[in-house]
A and B are shown apart, each in its own frame.
Chain A
Amino acid sequence: MSGSANGLTRQQMADRIAFEFQDGWIVNLGVGIPTMCSNTDIGDRDITYHSENGVIGYGPIAPAGEEDLNLVNAGGQNVTLRPGAAVVHHADSFGIIRGGRIDVTVMGAYEVACNGDFANWKITGQKGGGIGGAMDLAACAKRVFIIMEQITRSGAPRLVAQCALPVTARRVVKLVATNYGLFEPTGDGFRLREIAPGITLDEVRATVGCKLTVPDNLPQVRLANQ
C-alpha cells in the first residue's frame, strides 16, 4: 500500500487522548492540539481543566462577542468558566502543579524517546527557546501524555531511541498519540497499542526510530467514547 494516508486528524488525536481521562481528574492541556481535548465528548466524566495562569475549572472557548478579555487559557484563547471554577495567582497555580495535583498534562513535542524522555522547548540551532510551564508540568504531573505528528516535516521519526534535542524532562512520558496510532514507551522501544485507520503496520514500522512491539491482535484507534 502507498504511504499517502495521513491517518488521524488533529481532533482525532486529541479525542483519543481525552478518552483516557478518568472521572475526577485535574487536567492541564498544552498549547496547540492538546487544547482540542476539551472539545471531546467523554460522557459524564467530570474533568477539571487547570491552566498555568491560575484558572482552575475553565470550560469551552467563549462564543464570538461574549469573550471576557481578561480570561484566557494557557494558549491565550478566551475561554469560559464552569460552575465551581476558581482563580489563583501564578505561584499558587504552579504550587498546584509542583504539589502533584495534576493527574495528567497533555503536551505537544518534537521528539519522544523510548525511555520516556521528551523534547518540546528548543529546536535545533536555536539560541534560547520557549519553556513556558512545560518543565514544571512534565516534572511534577502524575502523568505526561504527548500528542504529535508521527514524523517531522522532512520525514524523520519523532518516536526515537534517544532525543537529539534538549529534553524537557526525563523518563516521564506514559502515552503518545500520533496521526499513525497510540504508543507507549517501554524503556527499550515503543509498544503500538492501536493503529490509525488507513495506516499500515509497515508505514508505522518505517516511521519509528527504534524498536517497535506490536501485539498479536492490534486494534484500530478508538474514535468514540466508550
Chain B
Amino acid sequence: MTQKSKQVGSFREAVQDIPDGATIAFGGFAMPGVPFNLIQALLEHGARRLTLIGNTTGGAQQPRMPDMGMLVENGQVKKVVCAFTASTRPTDVLPFTKYYESGEVDAELVPQGTLAERLRAAGAGIPAFYTPTAVGTELAEGRETRVIDGREYLLEYALPLDYAFIRATRADTFGNLQFHRSQRNFAPVMATAARVTIAEVDEDILPAGAIDPDQVHTPGIFVHRLVKVPPPPNGLWPTRRQERRR
C-alpha cells in the first residue's frame, strides 16, 4: 500500500478552501516559525470575517513581513486572540491597535502561557482548566475562579481551531514534522488543536520513513497539507531584524 503524499503544489492551492468565518491560528514567535507564505496566500485568497489566533498581531519590527495585522488591514478579520494587541513600549505602535480602538475589529487578550495551554487543551480533549495566571488582574474580573489547596485559580477554556498555519524545517510526505530551534514555539500545540493543519516547509519534502520516528516533533496525523517554500525571491524566509532605536 502506498501512502498518498500530503504535499500540495502551491500556497494558493493549500488555502483555497478556507471559508469566510474560519478560525485560524498562526505559529511563530518573532520571526521564527511564522508561516509568511501561507499568510501571503490568505491575503490574496481574501476570506473574510476570520478569527485569528497567534502570539501577536505583529508589525512593530522592520522589515515587516506578512503578519496577522496585514490581514486586519486588508479587511479580512472579525476578531483576534493574542498575547499582544498593543506594544508595551509607547513608542512602538502596532498597526492593529487603531482597528481595535475604533471597534472595527474585536480582540481577546490572553496571557501567552494561557494561550498555549488553551490550544494544548483543545488538542488533548480537555474542555477547560484552572491556572494561577492572571488571578487578581483585570483579565479575571467577573470570571470563574476556584481555590484549590489554598491558592486561587482562574478557569480557562480550550481553544479549538478550524485551521493551523505553521512553518517547519523538514517534513515527510505523511506530514511528520521537524522544527529547527525556536521555529517550534506554538506550532505543535496549534497542530493538535486544528481540524486542518497546513505546514510550509523549508526543505524538500522527504519520502515517508525518511525521518526517524523518535525524532518526529509533530506526528503526521496532525498535519494535512504541506507546501515546500521556494527559495527567495519566490518564497518568503526569515530575515535579520533591524535593531530598534532607543
Write the nearest CB–CB distance from A70 to chain B, whole angstroms. Answer: 4
B83 touches A131 (CB 8 A): yes
Cβ of B107 under 8 Å from chain A? yes
Q: Are B240 and A53 in contact (CB under 8 A)?
A: no
Q: Does B74 contact A (CB under 8 A)?
A: no
Determine which of B32, B89, B112 lies in contact with A133 in the assembled complex, contact meaning CB atoms within 8 Å: B112
Point out the residues of chain B lying under 8 angstroms from A123, CB to CB. 88, 90
Q: Does B116 make an interface contact (CB < 8 A)?
A: yes
Which one, B3-11, B15-23, B182-190, B207-215, is touching chain A? B182-190
Q: Are A94 and B85 interface neighbours, CB within 8 A?
A: no
Q: Name the distance in Å between B77's Cβ and chain A's nearest Cβ.
A: 14
Q: Are A166 and B241 in contact (CB under 8 A)?
A: no
**Assembled-state Cα–Cα distance A58/B15 (Å):** 36
A52 touches B112 (CB 8 A): yes
Would you call B216 an interface residue if the criterion is a C-beta within 8 Å of the partner chain's C-beta atoms? Answer: no
Let me know if A121 is at the binding interface, CB within 8 A. yes
Query: Is B155 an interface residue when CB atoms closer than 8 A count as contact?
Result: no
Which chain B residues in 87-143 approach chain A with CB under 8 Å? Answer: 87-90, 97, 100-101, 107, 109-114, 116-117, 119-120, 131-139
| Contact A70–B109 (Cβ < 8 Å) | no
Check A130–B101 contact: CB distance below 8 A.
Answer: no
Expressed in whole angstroms, the minimum distance between the Cβ of B222 and any Cβ of chain A is 12
Please pick, from A78, A128, A135, A170, the residue contacting B86 in the complex, using a CB distance under 8 A: A128
Chain A 139-173 near chain B by CB (<8 Å), digits 1 or 0: 11000000000000000000000000011111000
Q: With an 8 A cutoff between CB atoms, is B180 at the interface?
A: yes
Q: Does A120 contact B (CB under 8 A)?
A: yes
A76 close to B139 (CB less than 8 A): no
Most chain B CB neighbours (cut-off 10 Å) among A97, A108, A129, A169: A129
For residue A168, which residues in chain B have a CB less than 8 angstroms away from its CB? 137
Check A72 against B182 for contact (C-beta < 8 Å): yes
User: Are A54 and B136 closer than 8 Å at their CB atoms?
Assistant: no
The interface stretch among A13-21, A35-43, A85-93, A184-192 is: A85-93
Residue of A nearest to B137 (CB): A167
**CB atoms of B136 and A89 under 8 A apart:** no
Alpha-carbon separation in the docked complex, A53 to B217 (Å): 15
| Closest CB in chain A relative to B25 CB, distance in Å | 11
Contact B112 A94 (CB under 8 A): yes
Q: Is the CB of A89 within 8 A of B117?
A: no
Report the minimal beta-carbon distance from B81 to chain A, rounded to whole angstroms: 12
Establish whether residues B88 and A139, one from each chain, have CB atoms under 8 Å apart when the complex forms. no
With an 8 A cutoff between CB atoms, is B163 at the interface? no
Q: Which chain A positions have C-beta within 8 A of B157?
A: none
Q: How far is the CA of A37 from the CA of B185 in the complex (A)?
A: 24
Q: Which of these, B33, B113, B188, contacts A94 with CB under 8 Å?
A: B113
Determine the distance from Cα of A127 to Cα of B96 in the docked complex, in whole angstroms: 11
Taken together as a complex, chains A and B put the C-alpha atoms of A71 and B185 apart, in Å, by 11
B181 close to chain A: CB less than 8 A: yes
Closest A residue to B90 by beta carbon equals A123
- Cβ contact within 8 Å between B181 and A68: yes
**A72-B30 contact in complex given A130-B84, A135-B134, C-beta closer than 8 Å:** yes
Known: A69-B240, A131-B83. A166 touches B137 (CB 8 A): yes
**5 other contacts beyond A53-B29, A72-B30, A128-B109, with CB at 8 A cut-off?**
A31-B88, A54-B184, A98-B132, A98-B133, A135-B139
